[in-house]
Structure 1
Amino acid sequence: MAKLSFIAGFGAGYVLGAKAGRERYEQIRRAYHHAKDDPRLQSAAGMAQARADAAVSSVKTRLGSETGTTR
């Protein structure tokens, strides 16, 4: 998940930076790092990760119980 976010952020920064020039790229990069370190964003990301983990666990449990009943 983090790798995908990094790649998406890098790609967006590269494209926007290439179009707007180095100064704008640096501005975007600073804004990204500022947002990344924001405790509110970290909290939201943690809650989203916990929900995703719970959903994956639930699906795994359902798949396990369904495959067990058909045999």
Structure 2
Amino acid sequence: MKKFLLGVGLGYVLGTKAGRGRYEQIVRTYRKLADHPMVQGAAGVARAKLGERFGHRNG
């Protein structure tokens, strides 16, 4: 969720400088990338590794 909000924020800032059409193009590209199965898989692996690393400190 944080990455999504970061992407939206970045798209907004860049879009306001480049115009509405460019903003919408940036958002569409970000969403395609974020929804790509390879990206989802890599994000899952990263979350698992972070959970392993930081989860042991809590227990």
User: Shared fold by TM > 0.5?
Assistant: yes
Name stretches of at least 5 consecutive residues in structure 2 with no aligned partner: none
Q: Residue 7 in 1 paired to residue 18 in 2?
A: no
Identity of aligned residues (%): 46
Q: Give the TM-score taking structure 2 as reference length.
A: 0.87
Larger Rg: 1
The structure whose RCO (Cα within 8 Å, separation 6+) is larger is 2
Q: Give the TM-score taking structure 1 as reference length.
A: 0.74
RMSD over aligned Cα atoms: 1.1
Q: CA deviation at 1:17?
A: 0.5
Q: Distance in 2 between matches of 1:5 and 1:37?
A: 12
Name stretches of at least 5 consecutive residues in structure 1 with no aligned partner: 62-71
